[in-house]
Structure 1
Amino acid sequence: KPELVPIIADRAHAHGLRVSGHVPAFMSARQFVEGGADEIQHLNFIVLNFLFPEVKETRNRDRFIKVAERAREFTPDKPEVREFIDFLRQHHTVLDPTMNAYEALFCGDPSATTPGLEEIVPRFPPQVRRAMRSGALEVPPDKQTAYHDAFPTMLRLLKAIYDAGVTIIPGTDALPGYTLHHELELYVRAGIAPAEVLRMATWTPALVMGVDKERGVIAPGKLADMILVDGDPTKNIGDLSKITTVIKGGKVYDPKAIEKQAAIRAAGAQPRKRGTPNIVQSSLRRKENQRSGRLIHAHTSARSRSVCQKSKQSRMFKDRDIGQRHNRCRYIRNFGRPAFRTAFPKFFEVLNYFFFNVLARGIRSLRI
Structure 2
Amino acid sequence: MLDIQKIRADFPILSQKVNGKPLVYFDNGATSQKPQVVIDAIEKYYSEYNANIHRGVHTLSQLATDAYEIARNTIQYHINAKYNHEIIFTSGTTFGINLVAHGFASIIKSGDEVMISSLEHHSNIVPWQFLCEKTGAKLVVIPMNEKGELVVSEFDNLLSEKTKIVAVNHISNALGTINPIEYIIKKAHEKGAAVLIDGAQATPHLKPDVQALDCDFYVFSGHKICGPTGVGVLYGKEEWLRKLPPYQGGGEMIAEVTFEKTTYADLPHKFEAGTPNIEGGIVLGTAIDYMNSIGFDAIASYENELLAYGTKRLKEIEGLTIYGTSENKASVISFNIDGIHPYDIGTIIDKLGIAVRTGHHCAQPIMQYFNIPGTIRASFAFYNTKEEIDIFVEAVKKAQQMLS
TM-score range, shorter chain: under 0.3
Richer in helix (by share): 1
Richer in strand (by share): 2
Higher relative contact order (CA 8 A, sep 6+): 2
TM-score of the two chains, using structure 1 as the length reference: 0.25
TM-score of the two chains, using structure 2 as the length reference: 0.24
Kindly name which structure, 1 or 2, has the bigger radius of gyration based on alpha carbons: 1
